[in-house]
Chains A and B, each alone.
Chain A
Amino acid sequence: DTAVSQTPKYLVTQMGNDKSIKCEQNLGHDTMYWYKQDSKKFLKIMFSYNNKELIINETVPNRFSPKSPDKAHLNLHINSLELGDSAVYFCASSQGTELGAFFGQGTRLTVV
């Protein structure tokens, strides 16, 4: 039973399209995150939510809009995709920062 699941695992799309990535956690955690991992493996935090409330919004373009319908879900919608958006996007969740975060398997987004 997957703790943090993301869909889809792979996403190939053309520039200018709009796409969404879904994330669900069944751990009962209050906090969820989105991270972007670039080709050099650097992990950059994009957003964090605590119980559906936005906590961190880290200088991410407005084209990226997170949506948290409930505390078990944090979806990422991306408008007008650009080549530079190609990366692996990771969703994570935690119950208290001190306990660490559990990560999903990632969504590899390729914009062509």
Chain B
Amino acid sequence: AQSVTQPDIHITVSEGASLELRCNYSYGATPYLFWYVQSPGQGLQLLLKYFSGDTLVQGIKGFEAEFKRSQSSFNLRKPSVHWSDAAEYFCAVGANDDMRFGAGTRLTVKP
């Protein structure tokens, strides 16, 4: 089955700074890739998805992600972080009604 690695368990950035969260996947064919955000006590919200076409995808809340097949990566970026972005972020890979998640990266935003 497909799998996802998020190398960073916890990242702290200052408000207004740029952000990049890393994600690497393992899958034999072209993957469907996703980023989700989870605020405390909440369910998961889909930020963006990639399944074909342009490798730079735009999502909600000012997030974007770039698919790099050669590196098996799908990193999430945001040019300027807001305090409300503090949350847990999950990368996921899906195929054939099977969606697997990474371990998550907890984002802390410093004032």
Q: Measured between alpha carbons, how far is A72 from B34 in the docked complex, in Å?
A: 23
Inter-chain contact A41/B99, CB cutoff 8 Å:
no
Closest to B96 in A: A97
Main secondary structure of the interface of B (DSSP, over half): strand
Q: How many A-B residue pairs have CB under 8 A?
A: 70
Q: Is A31 an interface residue (CB 8 A)?
A: yes
Inter-chain contact A105/B97, CB cutoff 8 Å:
no
Inter-chain contact A48/B90, CB cutoff 8 Å:
no
Inter-chain contact A98/B43, CB cutoff 8 Å:
no
Inter-chain contact B94/A43, CB cutoff 8 Å:
no
Counting contact residues on chain B (CB < 8 A from A), the size range is: 20 to 34
Inter-chain contact B46/A101, CB cutoff 8 Å:
yes
Taking CB atoms and an 8 Å cut-off, the chain A residues in 48-62 that contact chain B are 48, 50, 55-56
Q: Measured between alpha carbons, how far is A55 from B1 in the docked complex, in Å?
A: 13
A residues contacting the other copy or chain, number (CB 8 A): 27
Q: Is B98 an interface residue (CB 8 A)?
A: yes
| Contacting residue for A45 out of B32, B38, B98, CB 8 A | B98
Distance (whole angstroms) from the CB of B78 to the closest CB of chain A: 19
Q: Measured between alpha carbons, how far is A43 from B98 in the docked complex, in Å?
A: 13
Inter-chain contact A33/B99, CB cutoff 8 Å:
yes
Closest to A56 in B: B98
| Contacting residue for B43 out of A45, A56, A105, CB 8 A | A105
Q: Is A100 an interface residue (CB 8 A)?
A: yes
B16-50 to A contact mask, C-beta < 8 Å, 1/0: 00000000000000001010101000111110010
A-side residues, CB < 8 A to B, are: 4, 31, 33, 35, 40-45, 48, 50, 55-56, 90, 92, 94, 97-106
